[in-house]
Structure 1
Amino acid sequence: MLLQNRHISYKEQAKFGFVYWPFSLKLLWAPLVDSLFFKPIGRRKTWLIPAQYVLGLGMMLLSGHIENLMNDSHAHVDMLAFVFFLAATQDIAVDGWAITMLKRNHVGYASTFNSVGQTVEYFIGYVLFIALESPEFCNKYLRSKPQTTDPLKLSSFLFFWGVAFMIATTLVWLFKTEKESNEHLIENEKDHEEVEEERGVKETYKLLWHIIKLPRVKILAVFLLTCKIGFAAADTITGLKLVEEGVPEAHLALLAIPLIPLQIILPLAISRYTSGPMPMKVFMKAFPYRLVMGLEYAMLVWMTPCFRNNDGSFPSYYYMIIIVSYALHQAAVYSMFVSVMAYFARISDPSVGGTYMTLLNTICNLGGNWPTTLALWLVDYFTMKIYGYYIEMLICTIIGVILLSWGKTVLNQLHHGTDKKWRVKNN
């Protein structure tokens, strides 16, 4: 939305979207993070500490130049891609460390901490910042006398969190020790649980190749890489179009606050339906509702000018409509997310669970990234003659309906097979 406010074209915003791709492609260097380390420092801290120090120092240095970069007409994809590459590397190290940091019967809490952490960081890093960065919002809700200056600058925000990164990383380096791999393996043997074998870089890459060649993994990969095409326009462009129609981005950001309890409670409520042998049934049931919500989003954008007051503001009941729309959409999104993650956990080979899960998550993330990037890229071209957002929404919905019919057949076949067909050792 910051780019949208600076009148950056959708094509340029699509280029900016490439900075998220390292998170989808992190599997390419994950075996290096798992296999190469400096023993005196620790397997995970070898990568975690340098990555976080560079991120923290980078934010501090970037804070002095961010205003010039934001006003620059060039999309500095290379710079931001490097930042996200470091964050992806940090993510690999943290995910691996969680397995040895927590007891075997508590490893499941890692995903809970991850989900809660993402909700908190979204609120602080996006909702709170967007609100405090807006003079209009602060003049209306926080200031006694209106001012034209920004209450919180992006440069100050970056510098603060850069310092926070440096402090937190130093504390982890000095006071948190890693458990030795052998010690961890002995503990798990006592618990009579399966553990991942320690492999070198070459062995890990070979294992990945064997998993990718499994017939069922190939079919699932095609589905995961295409199933989100139907939601690309709704998920990516709707918020930008609302801002384009005059809805303040600070108000849109604050509308996410009422949804935070829903984002915490909903996964817990859905888990009772996804813990069975066929979790993807929930995924396919939520699929058509999410398509319908995309059409509802398009109608909401189309009708937005009708709600606008003469002074450019919007009535309270309009924001209530947005909240209800967002809530229904998020219900479908989280239903699909929780069910697919449960499915990954069920089909992954326990003997190589970490590698298997990383592969499936990577394919799933990539399947969400490329359609949204393409949708942003094409909207400017469609807009030359017709309203690009609406024509893209129609195309995406039609493709989504086709994929829904095909997906039901594919997932029924995958559900009714035995788990042994997902195992590497049987192929």
Structure 2
Amino acid sequence: MSYRSRKKPWGGGGNRKGSLEEGERKLLSEEPHTHGTNQHHRHKKHKSDLDGDRGNIAILFLLYLLQGVPLGLCAAIPMLLQNKHVTYKDQASFSFTTWPFSLKLLWAPIVDSLYNSRIGRRKTWLIPTQYLIGIFMLVLSYYINDWLEQGTPNIPFLTFVFFCLNFLAATQDIAVDGWALTMLKRVNVAHASTCNSVGQTAGYFLGYVVFMAFDSADFCNYFRSEPLTTGMLNLPGFLFFWGITFLVVTSLVALFKHERPADKSSVTHSDPDLNIVDSYKLLGSILKLPSIQKFALVLLTCKIGFSASDAITSLKLIEAGVPKEKFAIMAVPLVPLQIVLPLLLSKYTVGARPMDIYIRAIPYRLAFNFLGAFFVLITPYFLSSPSSPHTLPSYYYLILLVSFCLHQVSLYAMFVASMAFFARVADPGVGGTYMTLLNTLSNLGSNWPNTVALWLVDALTWKQCSGDESNACSDPALVSACEAGQGKCVTQLDGYYIEILLCSVIGYLWLFWGKRTIHHLQSRSSSAWQVSRVAVS
């Protein structure tokens, strides 16, 4: 399963785990290299046979869809907060809710190793986890307005609650990923990744785009004979519906879907069967490899240059006047592009040097730092024009959408190249663990710079109250004091633009170092990436 913010225009990209794709690679790698009729027989053997698995595919799709809904909601909350006078430090605090999907490697061995055989290896974790998600959503539906709508939003408590929700979703992800490889027949395991991608995308779409659109009165009025001031959906009702859905689906799975014992026809054997202690020892052995240590440094620092753009630009556009529901709807035409791009780019990442495309994409992605900042700068001028004093013209959205599409090309070029390199260097003897570790490092390389970038915006911003020069409007209390005195907080220097400049400079300097480092890593032999057989025996 992959948690990623790619559906959110101008959002950070690339939080993916890749375990299912690795499972497919392991399946194919198990077959001996043959030629002629044997090769034909091998391809015939791996031909998909959906008889008896159509229902399993539907169940997997539904489980991944449910997983995507809380992720979409966690992407929608910052949009709702942005118009409630919260600080960017508050947004930085809430961004920690995305971290569980980057840290789940820490408890994945526990989920894989501890279970009740009578209940089932995966259902032991899946059933209670999904029940807890449903209960969380039901409780949230009764109290979310108190924490979000009335007065100042309770950011620490919202962060804690949605962090727990994402932690449960990440745990459910571990269980579903593992179950996917045994639920389907061996020849159909490849369909698990499709269920993953399409299901999570659909769930994210429902939790983010659909909710944001139908929560908006302006959008809903297009479907009404008489305009109203409220949308067709509200957050409490949306949470209540999905809470009930989680409980119902989980009960049906618990009662009617049984795990079949793992056998040679349904599972892969590239990873050794390890207990909890051995699993953590294996992770330690991988991290001791010099090649991994250097590559970890690359993955943990390569996205610093994009952090201001990825984390802040979308919020700044909403602050500048772009309606949040229209911003969310702009993600719709990006979905087909996000499906097609990996297919188009994959042919350029085959071979021994897939990271060459990664390096070439970096300057283009850095250029979008300045393009995003330019849109933030000019948006108020479009809103204040005589022809459209309160709305943005259609051509503005069209240009912005084209920019989003171009941004996705550079983002996906880096993602597809990195995934191809992961698959090339991963030790096949411990492939799943190896791939998960690399994706965890990549995810952390996105999360920590984005959180820091959000945290620093307010510190780098200089404001002053128009009615009181001693008031720097540095926190909500001072802003309220300024407004109470009939003043207005005027931004003299926006920290966002400072961060865009600093991140861009860091990004180009990193490219000078990273280009040589990546070329060196690509030239290393496969033995430099392999774990000692003793460590995994």
Q: 1:103 to 1:407 in 2, by over 3 A?
A: farther
- Number of residue pairs aligned between Structure 1 and Structure 2: 420
Counterpart-to-counterpart distance in 2, 1:97 and 1:180 = 11
Give the SS at the match of 1:56.
Answer: helix
* Structure 2 partner of 1:395: 502
Q: 1:103 to 1:402 in 2, by over 3 A?
A: farther
The residue type paired with residue 373 of structure 2 is A
- Larger CA deviation: 256-265 vs 111-120: 111-120
Counterpart-to-counterpart distance in 2, 1:360 and 1:102 = 26
* Structure 1 partner of 2:203: 121
If each structure's helix is expressed as a fraction of its own residues, which one has the higher value? 1
TM-score by length of 1: 0.94
1:221 aligns with 2:299: no
Pairing 1:148-163 to 2, within 5 Å after superposition: 148-163=229-244
Counterpart-to-counterpart distance in 1, 2:251 and 2:146 = 30
Q: Spell out, residue by residue over 1:301-360, the C-alpha distance to the aligned partner (whole angstroms, 9 max, x if none).
A: 111122224431011000001100100011111121122122212211112111111111
Q: Spell out, residue by residue over 1:272-321, the C-alpha distance to the aligned partner (whole angstroms, 9 max, x if none).
A: 22232222222112111111112111111111122224431011000001
* Structure 2 partner of 1:277: 352
Q: Spell out, residue by residue over 1:72-119, the C-alpha distance to the aligned partner (whole angstroms, 9 max, x if none).
A: 532112222211111111111122222323444544443333222232
Compute the RMSD of aligned alpha carbons.
1.7
Q: Spell out, residue by residue over 1:20-74, the C-alpha distance to the aligned partner (whole angstroms, 9 max, x if none).
A: 1121111111110111010011111111111011001110121011111113532
Counterpart-to-counterpart distance in 1, 2:240 and 2:161 = 17
For residue 122 of structure 1, report the CA deviation from its aligned partner: 2.6
Gaps of 5+ in 1: none
Q: 1:416 to 1:179 in 2, by over 3 A?
A: farther
Q: Tell me if the contact between 2:130 and 2:250 (Cα under 8 Å) persists in the aligned partners.
A: yes
1:408 aligns with 2:488: no
* Structure 2 partner of 1:306: 381
Pairing 1:416-427 to 2, within 5 Å after superposition: 416-425=523-532
For residue 194 of structure 1, report the CA deviation from its aligned partner: 4.7
Gaps of 5+ in 2: 1-78, 463-491
Counterpart-to-counterpart distance in 2, 1:271 and 1:99 = 24
Counterpart-to-counterpart distance in 2, 1:122 and 1:284 = 30
* Structure 2 partner of 1:39: 117
Q: Spell out, residue by residue over 1:350-385, the C-alpha distance to the aligned partner (whole angstroms, 9 max, x if none).
A: 121111111111111111001111111100111126
Counterpart-to-counterpart distance in 1, 2:404 and 2:498 = 21
Counterpart-to-counterpart distance in 1, 2:409 and 2:270 = 35
* Structure 1 partner of 2:67: none
Q: 1:272 to 1:56 in 2, by over 3 A?
A: same
1:200 aligns with 2:275: yes
| Counterpart selection for 2:87 from 5, 9, 20 | 9
* Structure 2 partner of 1:331: 409
Pairing 1:13-412 to 2, within 5 Å after superposition: 13-71=91-149, 72-75=152-155, 76=157, 77-139=159-221, 141-181=222-262, 183=263, 186-187=264-265, 194-308=269-383, 309-310=385-386, 311-384=389-462, 386-412=493-519
Q: Spell out, residue by residue over 1:234-265, the C-alpha distance to the aligned partner (whole angstroms, 9 max, x if none).
A: 11111111111111111111111111110111
Q: 1:229 to 1:108 in 2, by over 3 A?
A: farther
The residue type paired with residue 298 of structure 1 is A
Counterpart-to-counterpart distance in 2, 1:170 and 1:339 = 41
Task: After the TM superposition, list the runs of 4 or more consecutive aligned residues in structure 1 that deviate by more than 3 angstroms.
Answer: 102-112
Q: 1:123 to 1:223 in 2, by over 3 A?
A: same
State the identity %. Answer: 53
For residue 201 of structure 1, report the CA deviation from its aligned partner: 0.7
Q: Tell me if the contact between 2:368 and 2:407 (Cα under 8 Å) persists in the aligned partners.
A: yes
Counterpart-to-counterpart distance in 2, 1:83 and 1:273 = 38
The residue type paired with residue 168 of structure 1 is V
Counterpart-to-counterpart distance in 2, 1:131 and 1:391 = 32
Counterpart-to-counterpart distance in 1, 2:362 and 2:253 = 42
Q: 1:270 to 1:108 in 2, by over 3 A?
A: farther
TM-score by length of 2: 0.75
